[in-house]
Amino acid sequence: MNVARDRKGLWRAGIVELLGLLAFVGIVELIASQLRPALAPELTLTLGIVLAIVPAALWLGFFHAQDRLEPEPRHFVFGVAVLGGLLALAVGQPLIEDFFRAPDWIGRDPLTQILGSILVVGFTQEFLKYAAVRYSVYFSGEFDERVDGVLYGTAAGLGYATVLNVRLITDSGSIAPEALGTAALVIAETALVQAALGGLTGYFIARAKFDNEPIWWMPAGLTLAAVINGLFAWLSDVVTSTSLVLSTEGAGRAEYAGWPALVLATVVAALLLAATFLLMRRANQLTLAGADADNR
């Protein structure tokens, strides 16, 4: 078992996800602008659901195309993504929306929004991504390298993001044709951040498994991910400055300032990807250096 083996395909997939989702938004905006008169709201609703699945499909497809050296079983990666989505659907969103009733009070003022976004939304989402990995593939012999934690954490994050995005579309009831591009913006924003935070949580999971870290290690990792999650949610709301309305009813739906939030999400995801890569690389180098010293 080579715990310290790096998997370049994983990091390449992360870069492609960043660039691919930006291209995805641009293509959807272009298609929507060209076909807008011909798109019925019912068709855009169906198309919106399909678009919500694109980020996870893009990452999973490219990763498996790159992961030729000792590839991870596809059903394991896909299964963790599905489990992340199921936990979001069955536990996460009901807990946030129905038990804590966060949508009713979280936007009351900036301090309440920041604290609520971290303590309620952030901790709920990040713990469930952790649970999707820790209580499934974590015990498998396939989880035999540190980088596997990032891989499966990212998959759990994308599964969670997919449910959030599908619910965004379906809760709208119907989508105005002119809002299809806006929907793509929000889908990409959500997928980028949820996947990157899942990868960060996966890094802490892997270190806890292979490096005999102290008891506070995993709670500290979840806290860090939850804080970033909550602060991003608050900042995203600040930079958009207008309410998101996708349905055919209601005014002002075309005024949603989605591009600043997508730029913010891209920057946050890129920084998290780079930080996770550097932390993982450092841990692997220390392991290899220790092995070399033992062999002398």
- The domain segmentation of the chain, as residue ranges, is 8-288
How large a percentage of the chain has pLDDT more than 90? 53
What's the mean per-residue pLDDT of the chain?
A: 86
The residue ranking higher by pLDDT, 95 or 295, is 95
115 burial level (CB within 10 Å; 0-12, 13-18, 19+): middle
Q: Convert the pLDDT of each residue in 62-81 to its tens digit.
A: 777 766 655 678 889 999 99
Mean pLDDT along residues 83-100: 97
Q: What is the pLDDT of residue 254?
A: 46
Q: Convert the pLDDT of each residue in 224-264 to its tens digit.
A: 999 999 999 999 988 886 667 776 665 334 456 678 889 99
Round to whole Å and give the CA distance between 22 and 45. 21
From residue 2, give the alpha-carbon distance in Å to each of 20, 33, 37, 68, 257. 31, 50, 56, 16, 47
